[in-house]
Amino acid sequence: MGQLRRTAPFSTDWGFTRGLPIDRHYIESFLGQYSSDVQGRTLEVADASYTRRFGGSKVTQIDVLFAPVGDPGPEVTIIADLVQGDAIPSNTFDCVILTQTLLLVYDLKTAIRTVHRILKPGGVALVTVPGITPYNHRHTDTWGQYWSFTSRSMMALFGECFPTAGLTVSSYGNVLTAASFLYGLACEDLTPEELDAHHPDYEVIIALRAQKER
């Protein structure tokens, strides 16, 4: 892990230059746990990489959402954002994959209401947000980072729209992985046992499964 007595991180891109970022390991662990929910008609933000990886043949139609700023990728099918979401059809999606997106949305409650609206009855949103994290200075001309979260705040926010019985929250991380993530280290710098030891006081990633009432 090198010398930790330093004021600059080992990398400034969340660890991508060193391997797989620690937060991505946790995001992918969460999506793998709930991969059975990635089915039917799905919606993902920016691209469909997680939909294809975790849904496979269970997915019948893929939509990709991109905000009306910047350049959309080739997979984008809906230009809209979760706050001004009129272009996103209601009661449509069996699964919405929303990874590391809500931190960029100032009007959180409206965005969450949109997620609830666009899900089919019984549909599932798989949501991840940062807890302990470096600040994201990228894309400041188009959108910026407004929030970090806790398990409690996620339950409270989604509990305003979704039934409590339909909410399951998990947190990932420990003091070592939290410090390592802030230093810009990657999964390759840690052992599997270090990565997968979780402590509720050190939430690197908060992940929430939200199911709409039937």
* CATH number attached to the domain at 37-172+204-211: 3.40.50.150
Taking 70 as the threshold, does the pLDDT of residue 1 lie above it? no
Q: Where are the domains of the chain?
A: 37-172+204-211
Taking 90 as the threshold, does the pLDDT of residue 17 lie above it? yes
Distance CA 158, CA 163 (A): 8
Distance CA 35, CA 50 (A): 10
43: nearest Cα among 72, 69, 66? 66
In a 10 Å sphere around its CB, with 0-12 CB exposed, 13-18 middle and 19+ buried, how is residue 60 labelled? exposed
Inter-residue contact 128 to 206 (CB < 8 Å): yes
DSSP state of 214: -
104, amino acid identity = L
Give the other-Cβ count within 10 Å of 72's Cβ.
17
Inter-residue contact 11 to 17 (CB < 8 Å): yes
- Interior CA angle at 82 toward 63 and 118, to 5°? 55
Give the other-Cβ count within 10 Å of 17's Cβ.
12
Mean pLDDT of 13-38: 97
| pTM tops 0.85, yes or no | yes
213, amino acid identity = E
* Alpha helices by DSSP H, 12-93: 22-33, 49-55
Q: Which residue has the tokens 């840690």?
A: 190
Inter-residue contact 186 to 18 (CB < 8 Å): yes
Taking 90 as the threshold, does the pLDDT of residue 36 lie above it? yes
Tens of pLDDT, residues 70-84:
778 889 999 999 999
Least confident of 14-23, 107-116, 137-146: 137-146
Taking 70 as the threshold, does the pLDDT of residue 177 lie above it? yes
Mean pLDDT of 152-163: 98
- Which residues share a beta bridge with 209? 126, 168
Mean pLDDT of 54-70: 93
Distance CA 148, CA 130 (A): 6
